[in-house]
Amino acid sequence: MTTRTTHSKALKEAIANNDGAAVLEHMPDRMKAFCYEYLKDLNATQAVLRAGYDTVHPNRIGTQLKNKPAVNIALDYLQKDREQKLKVDATFVLDKIIKSIDRAEKKGNEAAVLRGAELLAKHLGMFVDRQEISGPNGDAIRVQEEQIRQTAEDFKSKILTLSRKSNLKLVEEHDHDDEDERE
């Protein structure tokens, strides 16, 4: 029992100091495993499963873990450590893409040039993924105007009912207050 309290104090101190190495040293083993697994593919749901959490809702656990300060500090530390070891960052990757495009142009490889340009455009946010939703056989989704009108009327009716009930309560409370004042 004392070990857990000491462990918790050490972890809290590491979080307060934003010390990634100390956070990793003092965090629970499964949480630490989650951090390492998350860095493999940046998929929190899969990292939860690979880290050994026994849950039917790994996506929820992944979100909860990613919201913990200890996990964020550990992930930042591990990512920076990996970047330093590999000497890979966004600038390195972009330089490689640009050099590859140049080589592909010299060789006349239009497919490679196009692919490189696509990667650069994605990085710059020039492409937006859109998804079309359509009805049966690719036709437009049809909504009956009468259906919409009825739904709107039902909604309006419910709002009015609720409004009347709350106004009635206010009137009753007001009447009750008036009676109290008379006495």
Extents of the domains making up the chain: 2-86, 90-123, 144-182
Phi-psi region of 56 (alpha: psi -120 to 50; beta: other; left: phi over 0): alpha
- At 31-56, the pLDDT tens digits run 999 999 999 999 999 999 999 999 99
- φ/ψ of 88, rounded to 5, equals -115, 125
More confidently predicted of 22 and 128: 22
Cβ-Cβ contacts under 8 Å for 26 (sequence gap 6 or more) = 7, 10, 11, 14
62 and 51 Cβ atoms separated by less than 8 Å? no
Mean pLDDT, the chain, rounded, equals: 82
Asked whether the predicted pLDDT for residue 178 surpasses 80, the reply is no
Task: Give the CATH fold of the 2-86 domain.
Answer: Arc Repressor Mutant, subunit A (1.10.10)
More confidently predicted of 142 and 55: 55
Q: Across residues 74-103, what is the average pLDDT? A: 87
Q: Which residue has the tokens 């490689």?
A: 96
Asked whether the predicted pLDDT for residue 102 surpasses 50, the reply is yes
More confidently predicted of 180 and 86: 86
Helices H, strands E: what count in the chain? 9, 0
Angle between helices 29-41 and 58-66 (to 10 degrees): 100
Please tell me the predicted confidence (pLDDT) of residue 161. 80
